[in-house]
Structure 1
Amino acid sequence: MSQIPDFIAVIFDMDGLILDTETTYVHAWQQAASELGYTINKTFCTSMSGLSFAQVEEKFTEHLGAAFPLTEFYRLSGERWRTIAEQEGIAVKKGAYDLLQVLEESQAPFCLATNSPEFNARECLRYAGIEDLFSVIVCRDHVLQPKPAADIFLRAADLLQQPIQSCLVVEDSLTGLLAARNANAFSVLIPSITEIDEQMQALAGLVLNDLCELSLLLQGK
């Protein structure tokens, strides 16, 4: 594994990185679309990884047409998603607990920084049973612009009381990597359900397979 630069704090994305929420979103979206007479495949769904609500809405309209009933779709998909989450919970990604323990033992501050609104983010954390693990959470409704703008990461660094250049940003999506670049932060890419393309490879300061690898690297710092 490659070396990682010196850092003081760590900023984590949530969906697809700490939590396996994307799988539940895909299932709920496909169920809701089917009930409305539309078909959406997994590739289309995963292409929205890391996007904000407004960006997701735009992609649905582009893909399915202006007549697509977005309001009804969001109502149905929300109901289907909560049914899935209540029955199955939301899985915590492999290595997350060990990694957070490493950071706590080294007294390195960390936080979540997500394009999700705060209500939805806390709901996901609750379904995953880890709502108490993050004392600092920065969400879409806390800033002017979502990722790929720098706002969310800059706000996170401010709350952690560290310059952004002293923070590691850990992401799983192109949108998050672009935001890290715009914030002038070093990024660690741990891909989830999207394949790494050349742009992602070029943007990432470091590419790892999972949170376990990052945990091992940080233990050696």
Structure 2
Amino acid sequence: MIKKKPVSVKGLVFDMDGLLLDSEKVVKRSWDYAGKELGYENFGDHIYNTVGFNLKRRTEYFKTNVDLDFPMDRFAQMTREYYYKIADKEGIAVKKGAPELLNAAKSHGCMIGLATSSRQIHAEQSLKRAGLYDYFDGKVFGDTVKEGKPSPEIYLKACKSIGIEPEDAVALEDAPSGAISAHAAGMRVIVVPDLVQPPEEVKQFLWKQAEDLERVIEMIWG
């Protein structure tokens, strides 16, 4: 049997929430708690429509789909407080295969980038808590770009931050908006779904889809 030759990959660029960290479920709970205080029931369900959005895009979503006068600043502060209460009490789990994939990338000489919609202060704190911060050669955050996902800006900047051309890098995402962003940047895209499955229009351009990050190691390097 002829062994399949591994593909050439010079860099990997990761999303964070829902991909490296099992944090989206905690975000949903924090939205439920904050929403209830503001008079909205089951408010966490809105996360299914906004996975991968940065603060700017989520603000636009709430003002369009919930209330033009939605108190975003207050809601954001409340959700942060609830999120960290849960995180401090229960922790935020690292997704299956995340450390192994990051170590495999390093062992194969890949540069590693981050392209997260989260704010810089939150993302850095989360990665440090999880013991993943030092793996990254470059990082781009939701509050350091003008246009959030699905704009390609964040992935183009992430590739630049690690000195790799987009066509030589692979993006790893859990959310459709992030997959669209990376594809528009000219990257190969692997989706590892978390809260939502990729729709057909996203599946059509995916390079690969995996059930967890551990499986990605085999997909890339055999």
State the TM-score, normalizing by the size of structure 2: 0.91
Instruction: Kindly state the Cα deviation for residue 70 of structure 1 after the two structures are TM-superposed.
Output: 2.2
Secondary structure of the 1:132 match is helix
Query: 5+ residue gaps in structure 2?
Result: none
Q: CA deviation at 1:43?
A: 3.6
Name 1:120's counterpart in structure 2. 122
> Contact 1:20–1:91 at 8 Å: present in 2 too?
yes
Determine the structure 2 residue equivalent to 1:82: 84
Residue of structure 2 equivalent to 1:46: 48
- For 1:135 and 1:116, how far apart are their aligned partners in 2? 18
Q: Is the 8 A contact 1:21 1:124 kept in 2?
A: no
Task: From 7, 11, 14, give the equivalent of 2:13.
Answer: 11
- Once the two structures are TM-superposed, the CA of residue 57 in structure 1 deviates from its matched residue by 1.2
Paired residues in the alignment total 219
Q: Secondary structure at the match of 2:134?
A: coil
CA 1:72/1:137 → structure 2, altered by over 3 Å: closer, same or farther?
Answer: same
* 8 Å Cα contact 2:31-2:44 kept in structure 1: no
**Structure 1 segment 62-101 matched on structure 2, within 5 A:** 62-101=64-103
Measure the CA separation in 2 of the matches of 1:165 and 1:172.
20
* CA RMSD in angstroms, aligned pairs only: 1.9
Q: Report the residue type matching 2:41 in the other structure.
A: T
Aligned to 1:172: 174
What do the CA deviations read for 1:106-129 (whole angstroms, capped 9, x no partner)? 121112111122112112213334
Single out whichever of 176-185 and 3-12 deviates more from structure 2.
3-12
Change (3 A) 1:36 1:20: same
Question: 2:145 corresponds to which residue?
Answer: 143
Moved more, 82-91 or 128-137: 128-137
Q: Which deviates more, 4-13 or 87-96?
A: 4-13
Aligned partner of 1:208 among 191, 207, 210: 210
The answer to which of 43-52 and 78-87 deviates more is 43-52
| 1:133 is the counterpart of 2:101 | no
- What's the TM-score once normalised by structure 1's chain length? 0.91
* Residue deviations 1:108-154 (CA, integer Å, cap 9, x gap): 11121111221121122133343333242111233332221111111
Q: Which residue of 1 aligns with 2:111?
A: 109
Cα distance between partner residues in 2 of 1:34 and 1:129: 33
Q: 1:137 to 1:186 in 2, by over 3 A?
A: same
Does structure 1 conserve the Cα–Cα contact (< 8 Å) formed by 2:99 and 2:132? no
Partner Cα distance (1:54, 1:5) in 2: 37
Structure 1 stretches lacking a partner, 5+ long: none
Contact 2:35 2:43 in 1 (8 A): no
In the TM superposition, what is the alpha-carbon distance from 1:14 to its structure 2 partner? 0.8
Cα offsets for 1:185-208 (capped at 9, x unmatched) = 111111111023212211312111
Q: Indicate conservation of the 8 Å contact 2:21/2:94, yes or no.
A: yes
Q: Kindly tell me: are residues 133 and 88 of structure 1, through their superposed partners in 2, closer, same or farther at Cα, counting changes over 3 Å? A: farther
Moved more, 178-187 or 2-11: 2-11
After superposing the two structures, state which structure 1 stretch, 144-153 or 133-142, moved more.
133-142
- Is 1:155 the counterpart of 2:150? The answer is no
For 2:5 and 2:28, how far apart are their aligned partners in 1? 34
Q: Secondary structure in 1 aligned to 2:211?
A: coil
CA distance in 1, matches of 2:63, 2:153: 26
8 Å contact kept, 1:16–1:192: yes
